[in-house]
Structure 1
Amino acid sequence: MTETQPRPQRPAILVFTQAVLALQAFTALFAALTVFGLARGEALSEHPYSLILSMIVGGFVLMLLLLLAAGVQQRRWGRWLGWVLQVPMLVAGLVVPAIAVMGAVFVALWIMALRLGGKIDRERAERDEAAAAAETDDGVGAAEGDHA
């Protein structure tokens, strides 16, 4: 019977950042649909049509970019892409302030994902290091006791 090795635990920072960006992608989609609905209802009539259209298309593009960024979080540039993609939702608040509020919430979640994920990963590494050191100490003591 072969014993299977347990899968290594995924880094917490990776799990958290991917989750935040994936959820933000859905929020960008719904924000684009909200802008479309507001434009159809003529609630945004004070803004030029080209701005409204660019916000709708931009929302869909932002959604795709956020999903891409969620997929590349294991790369260093993926984190930078995540930072850059926080900006468009804040800027969209110039037209629909509620989108900026959602963007600010996601900026806070992004910062928390980076900080808490990094902290958890450091604590896991320390725990694994301590366990490995304890295992080595036990192994050395047992080997010396066998030779005596």
Structure 2
Amino acid sequence: MKRSSARAMFMMATLLSEAFVVLFAGVVANGLQLASSRTVWISTLVLVVLAIAATGLARKPAGVWAGWLVQAVLVGISFVIPLMWVLAAAFIAIWIASLYWGAKIDRERAERAEAEAALAAE
């Protein structure tokens, strides 16, 4: 039985969480009139759609790059909607942690499976 990649699961969780949080932040930014309604909603929806699309790529090699693209777009949107700087900083930190810890867990799982296979062969 093959286990799912921890890195892919962490990436998907981060990107989906980011999509929801950005959507709600868009509602707040619109209510506070931090930018024009049109700007807020176009920016918000582009980022939400991009994050959801990147979630679908999380199990593929392009998934990491798609996730970085989402983070870059969030930083870009922060120049238009200042509220997003807080989210950009938080989600970039979470994204980096997801990549690091997910890869570490996957490595440790592989080492454990290798050790168990060696023991079973004895």
- 5+ residue gaps, structure 1, are 1-6, 138-148
Cα offset, 1:92, TM superposition: 2.6
Number of paired residues? 122
CA contact (8 A) 2:6 2:106 kept: yes
**Is the deviation greater in 90-99 or in 8-17?**
90-99
CA contact (8 A) 2:7 2:98 kept: yes
- Structural mapping, 1:52-71, within 5 Å: 52-71=37-56
Cα offset, 1:93, TM superposition: 2.5
**Is the deviation greater in 126-135 or in 62-71?**
62-71
1:69-116 Cα deviation digits (max 9, x unpaired):
112101111210100110222233334433111111000000000000
Give the match for residue 110 of structure 1: 95
Matched residue of 1:85: which SS? helix
> What is the CA–CA distance in structure 1 between the aligned matches of 2:41 and 2:26, rounded to whole Å?
5
Correspondence for 2:8 among 9, 14, 17: 14
Q: Please give the TM-score of this superposition, normalised by the length of structure 1.
A: 0.75
- 5+ residue gaps, structure 2, are none
**Is the deviation greater in 111-120 or in 30-39?**
30-39
1:109-134 Cα deviation digits (max 9, x unpaired):
00000000000000000000000011
Cα offset, 1:13, TM superposition: 0.2
1:46-84 Cα deviation digits (max 9, x unpaired):
x6x4xx523321211211110111121011112101001
CA contact (8 A) 1:90 1:99 kept: yes
> What is the CA–CA distance in structure 2 between the aligned matches of 1:36 and 1:115, rounded to whole Å?
34
Asked if 1:80 is matched to 2:65, the reply is yes
Structural RMSD (CA): 1.6
CA contact (8 A) 1:35 1:56 kept: no
CA contact (8 A) 2:29 2:83 kept: no
Letter in 1 for 2:52: L
Letter in 2 for 1:72: L
Give the match for residue 27 of structure 1: 21
CA contact (8 A) 2:40 2:81 kept: no
Q: With a CA cutoff of 8 Å and minimum separation of 6, indicate the structure with the bigger relative contact order.
A: 2
